[in-house]
Amino acid sequence: MSKYVISDIHGCYEEFIKMMDLINFKEDDELFILGDVIDRGHNPLEIIDYIMSHSNISLIKGNHEEIFIDYYNGDEPYAWFFNGGKTTYDQLEERGTEYAERLYKYISSLPLIKVIDKYILVHSTLDFIDNYNDLSLEVFLNKQEENICLWGRENIGEEKQYKDYTVICGHTPVQVINETKRDEEVKILYRKGTIYIDCGCFIGKHEGGKLACLRLDDKQEFYVKSID
């Protein structure tokens, strides 16, 4: 049994399926996805369907899932469209209200954070509040704010570490963090107490975009290059 982490698939269903084949994902394995499976790419709902049909895949809420919740609760769709949600919106229109309601209930139930062994999994980042290392894990996590977990980038370049735990997060592509588009330099990035795993699959192959996966058991890295 192995444990894997992926982030920011963004509708890239073909790359996702290739990754499942590459890691030889089995029934007794576990996969943790750090949010943002919808929007931008061509097949967001196919990814959602795949996740919902596999009990050994856990999805953590990302900011794009939260944008969908806001839209479903009455926000105008323009902010969602601005953030790449038009494809998801169009596919939801085709599938009808019953499917949209089921998706809403599922996404609304998603956690912001998961702790797996000595890893803290979150979409974006954590708030390292004053005296954070004096807090128990439960108190430290309970003090986290949703907005920071979904949208925060404050710790990039100023990474901190909570005790002997390592944060694994997505949200910000490593191309942005490292200011590079060179294919050989676009890979999972290790900083103090933090692993950045978003390799910008939705950005496209011309900017080194790829889907990255990390096996927690031995830190083995897997990559599938963007198709588009």
Q: List the chain domain ranges.
A: 3-225
Structure tokens belonging to residue 206 = 């011309």
pLDDT at 205: 83
Structure tokens belonging to residue 11 = 């509708």
pLDDT at 7: 99
Residue 94: what residue type? Answer: E
Tell me how far apart the alpha carbons of residues 138 and 135 are, in angstroms, rounded to a whole number. 8
CB 80 within 8 A of CB 65: no
Structure tokens belonging to residue 33 = 């996805």
Tell me how far apart the alpha carbons of residues 15 and 19 are, in angstroms, rounded to a whole number. 6
Q: DSSP letters along 185-209, please?
A: G-S-EEETTEEE----GGG-GGGT-
Along the 228 residues of the chain, how does pLDDT read in single tens digits?
999 999 999 999 999 999 999 999 999 999 999 999 999 999 999 999 999 999 999 999 999 999 999 999 988 888 899 999 999 999 999 999 999 999 999 999 999 999 999 999 999 999 998 899 999 999 999 999 999 999 999 999 999 999 999 999 999 999 999 988 777 889 999 999 999 999 999 998 888 999 999 999 999 999 999 998
The CATH number of domain 3-225, selected from 3.30.1370.160, 3.60.21.10, 3.40.50.970, 3.90.700.10: 3.60.21.10
pLDDT at 34: 99
CB 145 within 8 A of CB 129: no
- Mapped onto helix, strand or coil, the DSSP state of residue 67 is helix
pLDDT at 97: 95
Tell me how far apart the alpha carbons of residues 48 and 45 are, in angstroms, rounded to a whole number. 5
Q: Which are the contacts of 44, defined by CB distance < 8 A and separation ≥ 6?
A: 10, 11, 13, 37, 38, 87, 88, 91
pLDDT at 201: 95
pLDDT at 95: 97
